[in-house]
Structure 1
């Protein structure tokens, strides 16, 4: 698999053009409105009907009544719920309380109405297991740039790929990673400023240079930890973090919720059996074979929902069936072993003899050719 990046940030490259397109076709966006609940009539399992949407508009509760001819598309849950931003001199707040009007509380109320609507608490019950933090470092001059070049061997200001992927600091106590996409990331970004995305998975552990957990750190302190790990001399770290960069941290308590252990049925089907006028969208709706965490997953749920409810005779684009392709399975197995061949495994004398005999039986066959091609032997 591979990641493909837009020229600018995803909001300017994807979201904003879609919003403008939809507005030009008279689609209405209601800002300042939260959906508290969707009320269903599930008395007939073969005829489940969304009857009412309970909303909070500018702090006041309202209701939108529905008929069978209305279509309701529900994004249940939400990985970025309760996310908070800090600043150069303020930490990002760690707020885990789920309140009315949020995606998780809404899903809880929906799930209580029918077993087929999923089990949200499988995903949001423990933010200590689902949180991580990110920070955006904006360089303000050229003093940090040489240390970036030294690691990624590229100039960040060429307009091309910079890190070529994520750089993980494997000896970081925070398990810090960082990446730089093609610059500029924003249309109005100064051409001599570079945006670095830094994130860490262990927000509760003290750092290696800043001796406190990331969740307690200001943007400046997070930048100092990153500068330490990219090789900046310690006597220059604080000055560069304070005067050559501006760092904005973000705490996301539920960002890893979709990776939590689950069973079939914990997420509702995109169009639950018996649904008349509603469907579920996004990462917490169940669609066959696809893998969460991708933009494609969310898009497929939208296609499936619309095509099903409107009886559109059109297929959702196929998911690559790698699970059924022995070549992909062999390749993945070797990658899981960091590229090491199966024949390099620690084995006892009898095991080695058994492997040797097995390899002798496939010598000169297509099986041997396949195993060599994908680095298994």
Structure 2
């Protein structure tokens, strides 16, 4: 018997804007705006807030982290590896708002992201690397997949809370023997034999998410978390099953809030048009990624994807998605934290940072939009500093009929978390391993081994400053003369790492 993901005890909120998954490159890149909605013309990807020499030094820090071992980055925070100058840079502004990183998050995951997206370093400011589904990901990806599975005999069972899994653990062999659940308040379960397969999604980004409305704040739910409690019960049975509290016991560090804004007044799309420089009603991609109000106390970002965002969306409405990284800091227009705000108040803050005249904000926010805020206590839990063993292997050593899948399982593939691809690769790895299928999981794009991609990224990070060659000037000239006309020399010139003169 194969137990499908239908039995996992949490559901994403993609359908109504709580969280929509991301493609391999995030759907949330940053275009910064200056105060009151004036757009910046894509500042340099690197470190322009600093002098060119300092920018070069900070770029070297990124390169150093890139070449560090995984072990050197384990259990370290980003701000323990990168200093204040880095955290004040344009690069960090783009990076943190694109991937939802905070300075207290994992330096190891920062390193893995650098490897994963090194070929997109030059595309951070202008969104040139992004691709989007036609509609929201629930209608474009989830529903078609569910229908395909149902057409092939998969039975989805909803409203069931899986509470525990029993195992028979022997030296060199581990077997899942029973699944326990609650359905309508009644205990149930199913026994498992060695030929039954169990694929367990452990942990949850969206666990205990709470939706407010235009007049009600979303609630921060710090109570019992069934998805995390399930993993805790499982992990207590074997050290190989991971350490859930590394990720799921730090709500102040893992929470943030988002909101879905539906416009009802034709004046609001005009402000979107002004910043995006595209017609939001054109049927084409609008912002192309996120827009970040870099002076926002909340560090507020927003995006408008191709419209209509929902298939049944009225033609005169625009759906925008807003999120903030600093949800417990008072706003600039609304003098209260985002987590305490109604949808209307979040709309006010958003309109303020789009440059709407202050005198127009109250009316537009009250009658010109409908906003649903969603608070997610665990949304960046996988970014917490970690070490080997904190996440269980997809198929633990000796497992014969079960696997762990999702963002909190340790894949053998070279991939980073918070991507749709990671959520696909882990079950592929699980199935191919347990069923002994002689087929490889598709490899991650090998940019981290492509010398041209690495040199291009190095040039971007150094912002055009040439490489610092060793030795006195005459030695440097000798080195340059030796590589002149060679493939190496031409590559270094192409990416502005040595002079073309």
What TM-score, normalized to structure 1? 0.92
Q: SS of the counterpart of 2:267? A: coil
Which runs of no fewer than 5 residues in structure 2 stay unpaired? 1-119, 121-128
Residue 169 of structure 1 deviates from its aligned partner by 1.0
Hey, what does 2:260 align to over in structure 1?
Answer: 136
Q: SS of the counterpart of 2:176? A: strand
> Using a 3 Å threshold, how does the CA distance of structure 1 residues 356 and 219 change in structure 2: closer, same or farther?
farther
Hey, what does 1:372 align to over in structure 2?
Answer: 493
Hey, what does 2:131 align to over in structure 1?
Answer: 4
Residue 279 of structure 1 deviates from its aligned partner by 0.6
2:442 to 317, 330, 340: 317
2:303 to 163, 179, 184: 179
2:259–2:343 contact (8 Å) kept in structure 1: yes
The alignment status of 1:82 with 2:208, answered yes or no, reads yes
Hey, what does 2:416 align to over in structure 1?
Answer: 291
Query: In the aligned structure 1, how far is the partner of 2:246 from the partner of 2:480?
Result: 46
> Using a 3 Å threshold, how does the CA distance of structure 1 residues 259 and 360 change in structure 2: closer, same or farther?
farther
Residue 285 of structure 1 deviates from its aligned partner by 0.9
- Runs of 4+ with >6 A deviation: none
Q: Report the number of matched residues.
A: 369
Query: In the aligned structure 1, how far is the partner of 2:475 from the partner of 2:424?
Result: 46
Query: In the aligned structure 2, how far is the partner of 1:82 from the partner of 1:352?
Result: 62
Hey, what does 1:27 align to over in structure 2?
Answer: 154
Residue 46 of structure 1 deviates from its aligned partner by 1.6
Superposed CA deviations along residues 319-341 of structure 1, whole A, max 9, x for unmatched, are: 1122222333333344445xx12
The alignment status of 1:15 with 2:142, answered yes or no, reads yes
The alignment status of 1:109 with 2:236, answered yes or no, reads no
Superposed CA deviations along residues 286-332 of structure 1, whole A, max 9, x for unmatched, are: 11211111111111111111111112222111111222223333333
The alignment status of 1:250 with 2:374, answered yes or no, reads yes
Pairing of 1:162-311 with structure 2 (within 5 A): 162-288=286-412, 289-311=414-436
RMSD of Structure 2 on Structure 1 (CA): 2.1
> Using a 3 Å threshold, how does the CA distance of structure 1 residues 40 and 367 change in structure 2: closer, same or farther?
same
Superposed CA deviations along residues 203-223 of structure 1, whole A, max 9, x for unmatched, are: 011111111110000111111
Superposed CA deviations along residues 71-105 of structure 1, whole A, max 9, x for unmatched, are: 00000001111111110011000112233xx2211
2:467–2:497 contact (8 Å) kept in structure 1: no
Query: In the aligned structure 2, how far is the partner of 1:183 from the partner of 1:9?
Result: 10
> Using a 3 Å threshold, how does the CA distance of structure 1 residues 68 and 152 change in structure 2: closer, same or farther?
same
Superposed CA deviations along residues 26-71 of structure 1, whole A, max 9, x for unmatched, are: 21111110111111111x2321000111111112222221111110
Which runs of no fewer than 5 residues in structure 1 stay unpaired? none
What TM-score, normalized to structure 2? 0.70
Hey, what does 2:193 align to over in structure 1?
Answer: 67
Query: In the aligned structure 2, how far is the partner of 1:354 from the partner of 1:176?
Result: 52
Residue 371 of structure 1 deviates from its aligned partner by 2.8
Hey, what does 1:56 align to over in structure 2?
Answer: 182
Hey, what does 2:465 align to over in structure 1?
Answer: 342
> Using a 3 Å threshold, how does the CA distance of structure 1 residues 224 and 283 change in structure 2: closer, same or farther?
same
